[in-house]
Amino acid sequence: DLHSDAEERRQLEQDLRDALANDGLELYYQPVVHTVTERITGFEALLRWNHPLRGVVLPGEFIGCAEETGLIVPIGEWVLREACTQMQFWHCAYPGIQDMTISVNLSGKQFSHPALISKALRDSSLIPSSLKLEITESVIMEDPQAASKLLEQLHHQEVQSYVDDFGTGYSSLAHLRTLPVDRVKIDRSFVHGLVHSEADRAIVRCIIALANSLGLGT
At residue 170, the pLDDT reads 57
Determine contact, residues 186/218, Cβ cutoff 8 Å.
yes
Determine contact, residues 104/43, Cβ cutoff 8 Å.
no
How many C-beta atoms lie closer than 10 Å to residue 71's C-beta?
Answer: 19
What does the pLDDT average to over 81-109?
A: 92
Query: Does the structure show a pLDDT above 70 at 99?
Result: yes
Stated pTM of the model: 0.85
Average pLDDT, the chain: 87
Rounded Cα distance between 41 and 34, Å, is: 7
Query: Does the structure show a pLDDT above 90 at 135?
Result: no
Determine contact, residues 166/186, Cβ cutoff 8 Å.
yes
What does the pLDDT average to over 98-102?
A: 93
At residue 38, the pLDDT reads 93
At residue 172, the pLDDT reads 58
Among residues of the chain, what percentage have pLDDT more than 90?
36
Q: Compute the C-alpha angle 190/67/156, nearest 5°.
A: 70
Rounded Cα distance between 216 and 106, Å, is: 19
What type of residue is 106? L
Q: What is the DSSP string of 105-118?
A: E--GGGGG-THHHH
123 confidence band (pLDDT: 50, 70, 90): very high
Query: Does the structure show a pLDDT above 60 at 12?
Result: yes
CA–chain centroid gap for 197, Å, is 27
Rounded Cα distance between 151 and 156, Å, is: 9
Rounded Cα distance between 52 and 171, Å, is: 41
